[in-house]
Amino acid sequence: MGKEITANEITIKKQGLATTSNYRKLNLDDIKNVAQGACFLASGGGGSLQLTLTKIIPAFFSEQTEINLVGLEALTWEGDWGGVVAGMGSPMKLFDDPELVKAAIPTYEKLAELCFAFKAAGQAKYDSLKLMDFCLPVEIGAVNSIVPMIVANGLPQIFDPWPVPVVVIDADGTGRAVPTLSLTMYARQIDLYPNILGGNNETEPGTYFDYGSLNVQDETTLEAAFLGMINSKAFGNASGLAIYAANGPTFQSCNPISNGISDSLQIGTITTQTTGADRLSNVLRYINETMERKARQIFYGKVTDMKMATAGLDTGYVIITGAEAFDGQTFKLFVENENIWGQLSNSSGDQPWIVGPDSMNYLTDDGFVFDNSDLWALYEKGERPTISVIGIQAATMVLDNSGLMAAWAHEVQSKKGPSNYITPWLT
């Protein structure tokens, strides 16, 4: 991807991370549109759009902000290393303290510190490490698509001077939001360790971060331990995570889903700048033609029942009563942070209709999008929005990954869904 650089050559372009074909700068309006589109694509998860727009973006970005976004294809030099960053835990708990996502900044710094320490100790895996200069989102979502931007923008402000500019890679591990790391393309392909979980210490709010790092056998074991930590006083049900440290070619080889941030930007622009039927048709056209993933409206109606409980993750269900072409039917979404699978009920009985990794996304006639934590906040206030549910088939590289599909089958069955990947919603 480029040569090792000296302190006098620290620019994005001289790192080789920017070319005319894969490099762009995101401004404040772009970041807002990314959040809007990412919320739509996140299958009900990925964090609250309202929280992101009203609290998180104003806290971390300004009119002068410029985020360097680089395509996955640029990650060809073994000397460039990076990591995956995210918020972890309960999206609903972020309403209590939205600045908890700030913990992702020092977790990335600690991840870099560990990697360089392992290199200094002579561990062969880290021989190629020259720069820690990029980060990726774990998933798509209103919060988690923005977290890498918070890290890239915040590192030089908190750790001055940070040795090199950090860019955001336009790719993610899922093509949607997911409740567990085992449901990402990174899982089973990039080493889990080192990893850093960081949370705001309640005894010194906003001034100190507690950290945890675990060397365990797999994602399931790691998350079980991390969720226990997140539920502790020091971490407060929501934390920052930095994980999956590797060089650029390693990230390329695990086939993360490209262009998630760019696609979110375009869909966010469509949902905010078009109206009525044009909005829905333009969104579907973009997904089917540009993203080259099958998408259609699979249900339409009013949210009439919802249940949600928090125990590290937000679990429950959403019931939508059909209207117009879907009158006389109901649709039930089974939730673990995200929409995991959906059941269609009509005069013929109950039928599994759509299952993960396919996504189930919300869009109102007025162009509003939201995750399940936003929907729950509306529901608790007595609002019962009328929504379209848009099904989007998972990316081909997800469907072709046998280990990932096995993990999805386990996840769907844990929510009493079918054992096989089925697509009746496409017929």
pLDDT in tens, 240-290: 899 999 999 999 999 999 999 999 999 999 999 877 778 999 999 999 999
* Nearest CA among 74, 81, 82 for reference residue 21: 74
Domain 7-258 is found in CATH 3.40.1610.10: yes
Q: What is the mean pLDDT of the chain?
A: 89
Tokens standing for 305?
């029942």
Task: Inform me whether the pLDDT recorded for 224 exceeds 50.
Answer: yes
Distance CA 138, CA 152 (A): 15
Q: What six digits make up the tokens of 393?
A: 């088939």
What crossing angle do the helices spanning 276-285 and 260-273 adopt, rounded to 10°?
160
Domain ranges of the chain: 7-258, 294-426
User: Of the ranges 10-19, 97-106, 172-181, which is most confident?
Assistant: 172-181
Cross-strand bridge partners of residue 322:
301
Give per-residue pLDDT as tens, 291-321.
999 999 999 999 999 999 876 577 899 999 9
Going 324 to 325 to 330 to 333, the CA torsion angle's sign is negative
* 251/103 Cα distance (integer angstroms): 23
Sequential DSSP letters for 278-310: HHHHHHHHIIIIIS---EEEEEEEEEEEEEEEE
Which segment of 13-27, 29-43, 60-74, 235-249 scores lowest on mean pLDDT? 13-27
Please state, as a whole number, how many other Cβ atoms lie within 10 Å of the Cβ of residue 351: 13
Give the pLDDT band of residue 233 (cuts 50, 70, 90).
low
Q: Which of 109, 375, 146, 93 lies closest to 260 in space, CA to CA?
A: 146
Q: Look at residue 142 in the predicted model and tell me its pLDDT.
A: 96
Q: Which amino acid is at 261?
A: I
131 forms beta bridges with 80
Q: Which CATH class is domain 294-426?
A: mainly beta
Whole-number Å distance between alpha carbons of 303 and 380: 12
Please tell me whether the overall predicted TM-score, pTM, comes out greater than 0.95 for this model. Answer: no
pLDDT for 11 equals 47
Residue in the block written with tokens 């372009």: 13
Give 136's DSSP letter. E
Cα 72 to Cα 1, 168, 243: the distances in Å are 11, 10, 18
Give the residue among 409, 370, 363 at the shortest CA–CA distance from 270.
Answer: 363
Lowest mean pLDDT among 198-207, 349-358, 411-420: 198-207
